[in-house]
Amino acid sequence: MESLTRRGALAGGVALAAAPLLGSAALAQSGPIKVGALFPFSGGLALLGDESYRGVEIAIEERNAAGGVKGRPIQVVRGDAVDPNQAVGEARRLTSVERVTCIFGTFSSSLCLAATQVTELAQIPYFELGAISDPITERGFRYIFRTNATASGFANMMVDSIRDAVAPAYKVDPKSLKVGIIHEDSLYGQTVAGYQKKRVQELGLNLVETLPYSARSVDLTPVVLRLKSAGVDVVLQTSYQNDTVLFFRQMREQGYRPRAAIGAGGGYSLRDTMEAVGAQHMEGALNVDFTQFRTNPAGAPGIEEFVRKYQAKYNMAPRSGHSLCNYMGAVVFLDAMQAASDLRAAAIREAVLAVDKPVGSTATGWGAKFNQAGQNERADPFLMQWQGGELVTVFPASAAMAPVKPVLGTA
Amino acid sequence: MDILVQLIVNGIMLGSMYAIISVGLTLIFGIVRVVNFAHGELLMVGMYATYLLGAKLGLHPYLAAFPVVVLLFVVGALIQRFMIQPLLKAEEHIQIFATVGLSTALVNLALLLFGADLYSLQVPSVRESLRLGGSTLLVGQAAMLLCAVALIGGLHVFMHTTPLGRAVRATAQNRNAALLMGVPVERIYIFAFGLGSACVGLASALIMPLIPVTPTIGSYFVLTAFVVVVLGGMRSLTGAFVGAMIIGIVDSLSGYYIAPDLKEVVYFAIFIAILVFKPTGLFGLGRGTE
């Protein structure tokens, strides 16, 4: 009896040990390539997490329809990351249980920062398609790659817009404009505002107020009154949805009309924000963000095709530009995997670093060229403006649908 | 000077919002002696109900207040009957855990049903600005102040002149004595929890046209409401009103003169100071009554 058990255990052990080897050996020949998709599918971030994932889903379906990667279909394993703890747990499951070849993610920076600690140790390439925190690609990791712009890219674009878009539209000297920075006081707002202050100094603009506030606040009148009494002409706001709505409403109620308000994506990008504020009051609000859908297709080839596919698949218009940007990133990385000599991490890294797409050659209008840290250096965000209830790209000129309108709100 | 007046007006308006939310919490705490951590989530439920009535049936939020108040009364009574009642004899912290659990459950239920997006009602008449001297306020804010005063006055009259009100006060003062006098204490508790929730229902209908609703909207208000209730002396409605005004004005002034992100620091500092120097609150009845 005893020997039987021992023998059984031994046999089982051998089988267990051999299974992954057999599995991966078999997979290497044929069978699907497993890739992970790590996004917040439930919880507070679920809406945009899901919207982001849809872009990945479309890219993978497209790829599979075209014969997959190296002649093998791609199979997605989803991981639900509600918070950083769960992101770590799901990253472990994807790398060690599901044994995925790579992971696409994550929408949120804190989730990405947590999950990549696991994937870097496991030497699984992590493709970030949406999180903007700069440190993600500043930690010296070898297997993290990011297609989208970073927080500093957003901040620089916002400040540069004062010089390149706002001042020309009003036909004034940019240095004559009083600039106010307001931001919600979590990591997101603090980071972007920090880079903004640096950039404002570099350009020699006139910064008169910097006001952090809590995004959960139910009253931003003190912020509005501070800006009003300082006579701020251009407001740079880094905000979520709730505080954006509140700021626009209370600006109007307090009779404060700056020449321009520029948002850092977030709350400014969402249609719900515009609807809550009212199209006529949101008119002219500027916004720096990833590519949205009202972009000139000449500067973003494939954008119309993407919208068509999205509508056919989900039976609705895209809810935000997140799906498009994740789609673009997933396409770039799937192409790189196809071009790689094999599907081991080192080969994928080599192939990603070899990618070279000029600006204006992808569905988002970005290019793709990765530095040694894994950051795409050709992914500047665009400047958009709310015009007649639509968020329209206004800068740079190659992607613009309309010129910048020198207004904010209607009387 | 204009700005100072405007800030004080804003503070009073903010205070009336805090007041109307805190009334229910004060009632529930003062009578049932339960610290209701799900209070903010009841507000959220009321706001979604107001939103649905407005968006689907086109009901003005002030009319929607009537069904929402009834709905919240029922919800509150059910919570008391099926959650708190079975735990009444347990230790206090067990009841607190129960309400914390309820709060988490409600937030996640809202996330499931409505997602993390915000919903707002477009009621332009409520957002109309009124000019008052050199300062502005909204019609909806003025309505809130009037309702807060009326609600507190009405509750005072109810508590002091009707038999049911007297029974409620008796239960609050001494549960066992009230029981001996033939007051159906358990039913009074159910009524009181319902009444407290109904007050939040009124608050939510008044707030909905001013502030968009999200699943986590309650968490912001509930902390402030706790400060207000403690400041007011835990069980005093007038105290809660005055406490709310103080917090509203401090909130508004410190947001402007100190920094918008530090206003919570200021009024939580006041909160701690009150706990240290006058633990029974500004309108408390003295030691041992809390």
Tell me the pairing of strands A286-289 and A260-263. parallel
The confidence score (pLDDT) of residue A260 equals: 95
Cα separation values, A339 from A207, A329, B195, Å: 48, 15, 68
Instruction: Compute the average pLDDT of residues A316-336.
Output: 93
Instruction: Compute the average pLDDT of residues A233-245.
Output: 92
pLDDT digits (tens, 9 = 90+) for A61-120: 999 999 999 999 999 999 999 899 999 999 999 999 999 999 999 998 889 999 999 999
Task: For residue B180, give the CATH number of its domain.
Answer: 1.10.3470
B128 touches chain A (CB under 8 A): no
> Quick one: how far is CA A131 from the chain centroid?
5
The confidence score (pLDDT) of residue A23 equals: 43
**Residue A385 pLDDT > 50, yes or no?**
yes
Q: How would residue A21 be classed by pLDDT, with cut points 50, 70 and 90?
A: very low
Contact B260 A245 (CB under 8 A): no
DSSP assignment letter at A162: I
Q: Are A355 and A362 in contact (CB under 8 A)?
A: no
166-225 of A, contacting B, C-beta below 8 A: 185, 211-214, 216-223, 225
Average pLDDT, chain A: 89
Cα separation values, B149 from A65, A403, B20, B153, B235, Å: 67, 52, 9, 6, 17
Among the ranges given (A4-13, A69-78, A119-128), the one the predictor scored with the smallest mean pLDDT: A4-13
Q: Which residue of A has its CA nearest to B253?
A: A222
Residues of chain A positioned with their CB less than 8 A from the CB of B113:
none
Q: Which residue of B has its CA nearest to A214?
A: B261
216-255 of A, contacting B, C-beta below 8 A: 216-223, 225-226, 229, 241-242, 245-246, 249, 253-255
Among the ranges given (A157-161, B16-20, B207-211, B272-276), the one the predictor scored with the smallest mean pLDDT: B272-276
Q: Is residue B63 part of a domain?
A: yes
Q: How would residue A411 be classed by pLDDT, with cut points 50, 70 and 90?
A: low
Query: What's the number of domains chain B is made of?
Result: 1
Q: Residue A289 — φ and ψ, nearest 5°?
A: -160, 175
Instruction: Compute the average pLDDT of residues A134-147.
Output: 94
Q: Is residue B285 part of a domain?
A: no
pLDDT digits (tens, 9 = 90+) for B238-261: 889 999 999 999 999 999 999 888
> Quick one: how far is CA B251 from the chain centroid?
17
Full residue range of the structural domain in which residue B163 is found: 2-277
Q: Which residue of A has its CA nearest to B124?
A: A278
Residues of chain B positioned with their CB less than 8 A from the CB of A211:
259-261
Q: Is residue B183 part of a domain?
A: yes
Domains of chain A: 31-149+300-380 (3.40.50.2300), 152-289+383-399 (3.40.50.2300)
Q: Is residue B28 part of a domain?
A: yes
Q: How would residue A130 be classed by pLDDT, with cut points 50, 70 and 90?
A: very high
**Residue A17 pLDDT > 70, yes or no?**
no
Determine the Cα–Cα distance for residues B149 and B16; give it in Å rounded to an integer.
8
The DSSP secondary structure of A49-66, one letter per residue, reads HHHHHHHHHHHHHHHHHT
The confidence score (pLDDT) of residue B284 equals: 64
Q: Is residue B40 part of a domain?
A: yes
Contact B6 A225 (CB under 8 A): yes
Determine the Cα–Cα distance for residues A161 and A168; give it in Å rounded to an integer.
10
Half-sphere exposure of B10 (CA within 13 A, CB side): 26
Q: How would residue A29 be classed by pLDDT, with cut points 50, 70 and 90?
A: low
Q: Is residue B181 part of a domain?
A: yes
pLDDT digits (tens, 9 = 90+) for A352-371: 999 999 999 999 999 999 99
Helical (H) or strand (E) element with A33: strand A33-39
Amino acid (one-letter) located at B137: L
> Which of B10, B122, B250, B254 should we substitute to test contact with A (largest number of A Cβ atoms within 10 Å)?
B10
Q: Is residue B289 part of a domain?
A: no
Other CB atoms within a 10 A radius of the CB of residue A67 amount to 11
pLDDT digits (tens, 9 = 90+) for B38-63: 999 999 999 999 999 999 999 999 99
Q: Is residue B195 part of a domain?
A: yes
B260 touches chain A (CB under 8 A): yes
Q: How is the beta sheet containing A126-128 ordered, strand by strand?
A: A74-80, A33-39, A102-105, A126-128, A144-146
The confidence score (pLDDT) of residue B191 equals: 95
Contact A245 B118 (CB under 8 A): yes
Report ipTM for this prediction.
0.81
